[in-house]
Amino acid sequence: MVHCSSKTIPPLSPRIKIAILLLFLGLSARSQNLILLKSFEGRQIPERVFLAGDFNNWNPADTNYLFKEGALKISLSADSIAAKLTGGNWSLAEGNADGSPRPNRKIILKDRDTIVLHWYAWENHQDHPPRGVHLIKDSTAMNFQEAFRKVWVYLPEGYKQTDLRYPVFYFHDGQNIFQGIQGSGTKWDLAKTLNSMQLPIIAVAIEHGGAKRIDELSLYPHKDYGGGEGNAYLGFIHNQVIPFIDSNYRSKADPQFRYIAGSSLGGLISLAALRDYPHSYGGALIFSPAYWFNPQILSDYPIAPSNMPLRLVYQMCGDKEGGNPQTVIDNMMKCDSILQQRHPHWSLNYKVVAGGEHNEELWQAELPEALIWFFRHSPLQEYLKDVRGN
């Protein structure tokens, strides 16, 4: 006879029971969903469309989340997910119907719900200027050196609802001024600043010439870097851009309400504009001026005639710019001193920013203070009071 011994299984401890219960609840809490991909206005849906998001580490080519015949089944333990449709890589990310970038989707997950997503278009990676900004259409008026030059215009809020005429600021390196335009990764973010501050100005941003940028934004050739074609560029602004703006927008055509602005070589050429077109501009906004490139401009600056109107000049640089920051600061202060001597009735200001480096982050951060400075001085101070009625 075979004797079988038996062992009594001890009861589960409360801790183990809780663990099993939590495991069961966790498994049952997974949401089962069917996602259907539909076309917007009959647009053809690409053959391969993936769903990427915070649930798969934003993998744009995860075959577990590849739509098949317009459908995707998912099982996730989350109440909601952030997601975006892709074509298998981030160069093919979904956009709005016009191809502009769209924010991530927030998809609410309720168990056994069918979710419908509409496919609009792939993002086209072209310029998508922010609210209030538009590109002047291809026009012979914007041709420079036998090629169309892009020029963007910002119009203040309420422009279409009034008959008010506005001061104009002209910015160099236009592709770096507004968000949504191809250029440097970081922008001055001018439109956001102006919308936030509600300053009543028109801003004009002129595209630089790419490989020709150094040539256009310098007046004299540099022994190592070339350049020296700035006179032609300034002539383009004076003879073509400004007349076009004054003819097609409600700008204040009086030169005391017209300003020129830029950074680095753009700051250098802005100072040159005041010198070479003294009756065309009311002042200059000069960030991180590259006076080292053309130091001649400081010694060549003329004495203003006694009848020359007031001009406003705001200069700024950081104390961490380039390989020799002190030279940058010294040159800026030298310029300020020269302008004080030769234009004693001008309103001048310079600022050195602790820790500031030669980049768009500095220029973006310092832009609001610089603009406020202009509007605290005549004639913009009086203009702003008239506009705001105080």
Mean pLDDT score, 13-32: 58
Q: What amino acid is encoded at 68 in this protein?
A: K
Q: HSE on the CB side for 360, CA within 13 Å? A: 15
Check if the beta carbon of residue 241 is closer than 8 Å to that of residue 293: no
Task: Name the nearest CA neighbour of 284 among 276, 292, 295.
Answer: 276
Give just the sign of the alpha carbon dihedral 93, 95, 100, 104: negative
Over residues 224-249, the pLDDT tens digits come to 999 999 999 999 999 999 999 999 99
3-state SS, residue 196: helix
Report the alpha-carbon angle 171-172-175, nearest 5: 95
167 cis-preceded (ω within 30 degrees of 0): no
pLDDT of residue 6: 44
Domains with residue ranges and CATH for the chain: 25-122 (2.60.40.2070), 133-388 (3.40.50.1820)
295 Cβ contact partners less than 8 Å away, ≥ 6 residues apart: 331
**In angstroms, rounded to a whole number, what is the distance separating the alpha carbons of residues 237 and 149?**
11
Q: What are phi and psi of 124, to 5 degrees?
A: -95, 0
* Total count of residues recorded for the chain: 390
Query: Residue 277 has which token pair?
Result: 């077109």
DSSP 377: S
Tell me: pLDDT of 22 over 50: no
Mean pLDDT score, 301-313: 79
pLDDT of residue 92: 87
Q: Label residue 24 by pLDDT band (50, 70, 90).
A: very low
**In angstroms, rounded to a whole number, what is the distance separating the alpha carbons of residues 328 and 332?**
6
- The strand pair at 202-206 and 283-287 is best described as unpaired
pLDDT of residue 128: 64
Rg (CA), the chain: 30
| Torsion angle of C-alpha atoms 309, 315, 174, 149, degrees rounded to 10 | 50
Query: Residue 380 has which token pair?
Result: 């913009």
DSSP 166: B
Q: Label residue 155 by pLDDT band (50, 70, 90).
A: very high
pLDDT of residue 99: 80
**In angstroms, rounded to a whole number, what is the distance separating the alpha carbons of residues 45 and 43?**
6
Task: Name the nearest CA neighbour of 219 among 234, 240, 208.
Answer: 234
Tell me: pLDDT of 8 over 60: no
